[in-house]
Each structure stands twice: as structure tokens, then as C-alpha cells.
Structure 1
Amino acid sequence: MKRIVLLFAILAVAGCSNKAPLIGISGSYMPTGGTSLNTNYSQAVSRARGVPVIIPTVSSREEADAVLAVLDGIVFSGGEDLGPWLYGEDIYNETVFVDSVRDVSDVFLAQAALASHKPILAICRGEQLMNVVLGGSLYQDIPDQLPDNVGHGGTTHKIGIEAGSILASLFGTDSLEVNSTHHQAVKDLAPGLKVTAHSPDGIVEAYEGDNLIAVQFHPEKLVRTDAKWLALFKLFIKKAR
């Protein structure tokens, strides 16, 4: 029933806006019922001339395929830590907090998105998710596993951008200041992906793949005070048309 209601809602929006791409955005599962999502994501998509659709959790690949069938692109948002069993590890320490319901949903949605060949924008947890789904692994706790890190828990720092990357072409620079609110990060990069930005301590801050742009930072927050970041969302929406 949940899936049917969602699909009817998406189709209703599509009927009112046959030019703007429909962009699904993953959210966090709420045990009391429903899905939560910071409004920064939907506002950024709207400002870039997309139609944001919040995706409730799915419980099967069939549901995920049905959702992707009516979307033009998908944003995987930030949130809880990924379950380390998804990349063959046990929980590292007490700082790791997972949401197994969301993990199941996001993995199905990621698999469906990859199979659909529709554009994917992966942010923070989303960046980590896509790396894991494609065969990579994560640092579970940056402060403990990488003690010489530059600080990633609620701060800002510069990132170095690789020449020839999407970020380089969008912003015309080899360095950007970004926000940082995470304690996990890409460890082993999945096959087929290309790292396009690093923080000074070597942590992966962005990578690219087929129909995939992934960033560890939060451009949906940055765009609220710095309009240049809208370019990333506009490019994503353009690819979804």
C-alpha cells in the first residue's frame, strides 16, 4: 500500500510538471512511522528546477524498481552510519550507530538506481552507501582509525580537487572550502570509481562513476549561503532531463 500511494503521488506531481525532472530523495526511517528528511535537500533540488519527491523506505528490490521507474534521478541523502556487515566487518566500536531498516531500503534503491542508469547524486552517507554497494569499504570511526585527521565532526576544511573532474569543471579551481559533519569515510574505493577530491588528510571527499556524482560534504547546506554550489544541483538536474 505504501508503495502504491507513493507512486500515485509521484505521478500526480508529474502530471502537473511535465518539464521538470522528478527527483527522488532518500530519507531516514522513523520507528514511529514515516520518513524524515532535512528540508535543505528538497530546497536545493527545487532551486535547481527539479521536482523533489521524498522516498519512504522500501523493503524489496521490486518496490525499489517500481520507484525508480517513475523517477528521473535520485539523491541519496546523509544520515546514520551504514551497517558494517554490508562490507564484511563487525561494528568497530560504540560510536557506530546504524539503522538496519534504512540500510535495507537504501541498498535496494541503490541497486535499482544503478540498474536504471539514471543520474545519482550521493551526499555524505549516500557517498559511503554507493561505494559499499559497488564493492568498497569504509573507515567506521575516523577519530580512532585515522587519529591524524584534520577534523570532520562539525567543522570546515579545504579539499583538493582533481583536474578534469566534474567539480573542477564546475568551479574552475583546484581547491574548495567545504563543511564536514561525518565520522565515517571511504576506505577501499569500489572498482570503477574515480576519486576526484581529497581532504588534506587523504580522506576521499568526492568521486565519480557512471551516472554518479558522490560527495562526502553537504552541498545542500552550503548552497544556502553560497550560491555557487547550486551549479552542482543544476548539473545533476540537467543530466536527469
Structure 2
Amino acid sequence: MNGPIPVIVSYSSETPRHDAAFADELRALAAGAATAIAEAGLEARWVNAAAPHSDAHDLLATAHGVIVLGGADVDPSLYGATPYGAWMDSADAAADAFEAALLREALERGVPVFTICRGTQLLNVVRGGTLVQDLGAGIHREPNQDMVTHPVAVHPGTRLAAVLGTGTRDVRSGHHQAVDALGEGLVVSATAPDGVIEAIEGRDTGRDAGWVVGVQWHPEDAASDPAQLRLLLADFAAAARIVLPVGDDPIAAPAA
């Protein structure tokens, strides 16, 4: 197609479940993503996951891809676990339900899917996987919840390796949960030195199967290597460009 490629971009931009500091952090990350998305030739159609303006089916009618950004922890009841810890303070059931439906619809249609942090955790859950509810002390976030820089190893033979190259690279990270049991049809494409899964992708990401890549780190963070997000979005955009959406009615794009 000619012109910008329309894609759905989802995160909880407004919800009483998030305190002011967390909401500001999410908006700052979304702003970083927005710039890179536009530079990749994509038209971002922003959705507040906590209060979406349309359902997943209608949103995807004319979209060529889905991007799910970071946010609050996923409710453990979605993967059959008993919740514990203080995560309940920011979890949002409406956002969980909407983004799970959005991911399922996109996967069923073979629409390209790119996820970051929470989005990657939810992608794994939607495919029947589980999460580590709390990693405890380690390399993935500061005790004050600020982001940190740490290395990840990209696995050879994966789409992620084809995009970023194999070997070790530094990433920006700020999570206390992670993929545990891997969901159906997914493979691990990057790990941290402590063995924590840092990226997953569809087992078959060829043209007929769709493009599915999720990273646990934050390539949209201002302190991240900008080449990571640029390369990932370029590959995502190439896949999205060949998608034939179901309908042809334009979707109004809300402000980010």
C-alpha cells in the first residue's frame, strides 16, 4: 500500500488504577514509541486499553498490525495462578480483557504483532503460557523501580537475530515479572545472563503465518540504543505493508 501503514497501538494511557508517577512514565515511553512508529512509515491509531473506544474486531477491520506497549502487571488469574504481592494496586481488569482480545484477534487473522514488556507477558499468557510473578532482587530493575541497563543474548536462527543480529547487546529494562512456561507456538529469542526470558516470537514467522515478536525490555526508552526500535519497527512495517485488512472504513485515531 502507498502512504503510512495504519496500525493499532495500545496501552493504558488513562486509568485510575495507575498512580501519577507511573502514568507519567508510561506516557513518556509511549511518546518515544510514537516518534519511532511515525519514522517507520506507520500511522499509529492509539487506543487507551483501560477504556477502548471500539472492540478488538472493529479496530482491526482496517488495521495492518498491532503494537501493545508496557504497563501494569497481568492479572495472574488469567494464567491460573493465585495472585500475591502489591501488583494489585495498579492492575486493570479492563485493560487485561481488551488487550488479550486484541492480541487473540490479531493472531487469528495473521496480523503482525509487536509487543513490549507487559505486552510481551500478555502475549505469552494469551498463547496459554504463564508468568513469574516476582523475580525478586536482580538485574532487571532498580529497588526504586527505575530502569536499568543490562545485557541480553539474542538467539541465533530467530527473527530477532535476523533483525538485530546474534550475540549480546545492552538493553533498557524495568520489570519484576517475566515469561515462565512458554505459550503454544512461541519460541524464546533472547535471554538475560540470569536466564530470564527477554524476548519471544512466533515459531513460524513467515509471510503465511504472520509476524509475531515480543521483547521484555524497553527499546522505546530515551536511554536505549535507538537502532533497536528502529530496526524492529522497520521489519514490522515491512510485514504490515502486505497485510490485507478486512474492511476499508477509516478508524478515527484518538490522541496519544
Please give the TM-score of this superposition, normalised by the length of structure 1.
0.82
* 2:117 equivalent among 108, 114, 124: 124
Give the superposition deviation at 1:30.
2.4
Q: Residue 79 of structure 2 aligns with which residue? A: 87
Between 1:127-136 and 1:42-51, the stretch displaced more is 42-51
Query: CA shift at 1:183, angstroms?
Result: 0.8
Higher RCO structure (Cα 8 Å, ≥6 apart) = 2
Q: Which amino acid aligns with 2:12?
A: S
Specify which of 92, 100, 104 is matched with residue 93 of structure 2: 100
Aligned residues of 1:58 and 1:108 also touching (Cα < 8 A): no
8 Å Cα contact 1:223-1:229 kept in structure 2: no
CA shift, 1:226, in A, is: 3.0
Q: 1: distance between equivalents of 2:164 and 2:100? A: 31
Aligned to 2:254: none
SS of 1:219's equivalent in the other structure is: coil
Tell me, yes or no, if the aligned pair for 1:195 and 1:208 is still in contact at 8 Å.
yes
In the alignment, residue 86 of structure 1 is paired with which amino acid?
L
Q: How many Å separate the matches in 1 of 2:215 and 2:156? A: 16
Give 1:223 shift: 8.2
Residues 230 and 184 (structure 1), Cα distance of their counterparts in 2 relative to 1, 3 Å cut: same
Question: Aligned letter for 2:37?
Answer: V
Q: Among 173, 189, 197, which residue is 1:204 paired with?
A: 197
1:230 aligned partner: 230
Task: Find out whether 1:191 has 2:175 as its counterpart.
Answer: no
1:152-206 Cα deviation digits (max 9, x unpaired) = 3421110011111122222333111001111110011112111010000111101
For 2:43 and 2:160, how far apart are their aligned partners in 1? 23
Q: Counterpart in 2 of 1:218? A: 218
The alpha-carbon deviation at position 150 of structure 1 amounts to 2.8
Partners of 2:155 and 2:166 within 8 A in 1: no
CA drift at 1:18: 4.6
Aligned-pair Cα RMSD in Å = 2.4
Paired amino acid for 1:23: V
Secondary structure, counterpart of 2:85 in structure 1: coil
Aligned amino acid, residue 233 of structure 2: F
Do the aligned residues in 1 keep the contact of 2:73 with 2:87 (CA within 8 Å)? no
Amino acid in structure 2 at the alignment position of 1:226: P
Alignment of 1:141-156 (within 5 A): 141-143=134-136, 147=137, 149-153=138-142, 154-156=147-149
Tell me how far 1:222 sits from its aligned partner: 5.7
Deviation sequence 1:204-231 (CA, Å, 0-9, x none): 1011104210100111226875335411
Structure 2 length-normalised TM: 0.78
Q: Secondary structure at the match of 2:201?
A: strand
Name the CA shift for 1:151/1:228 in 2 (closer, same or farther; >3 Å). closer
Deviation (angstroms), 1:31: 3.7
- Aligned residues between the structures: 218
Instruction: Give the counterpart letter for 1:191 in structure 2.
Output: E
Alpha-carbon distance in 2 for matches of 1:64, 1:126:
15
Residues 112-138 of structure 1, C-alpha deviation per residue, up to 9 Å, x if partnerless? 111221100011000000000000000
CA distance in 1, matches of 2:79, 2:227: 36
- Match of 2:45, SS state, is strand
| AA in 1 matched with 2:102 | L
Shift of 1:104: 1.2
The answer to whether the Cα contact below 8 Å between 2:120 and 2:215 also exists between their aligned partners in 1 is: yes
User: CA 1:150/1:113 → structure 2, altered by over 3 Å: closer, same or farther?
Assistant: same
Decide which structure has greater helix share.
1
| Distance (Å, rounded) in 2 between the aligned partners of 1:224 and 1:53 | 24
**Structure 2: gaps (5+ residues):** 17-22, 206-210, 242-256
CA contact (8 A) 1:73 1:119 kept: yes
Structure 1 runs not aligned, ≥5 long: 1-16
Whole-angstrom CA distance in 2 between matches of 1:121 and 1:239 = 11
2:13 maps to 1:24: no
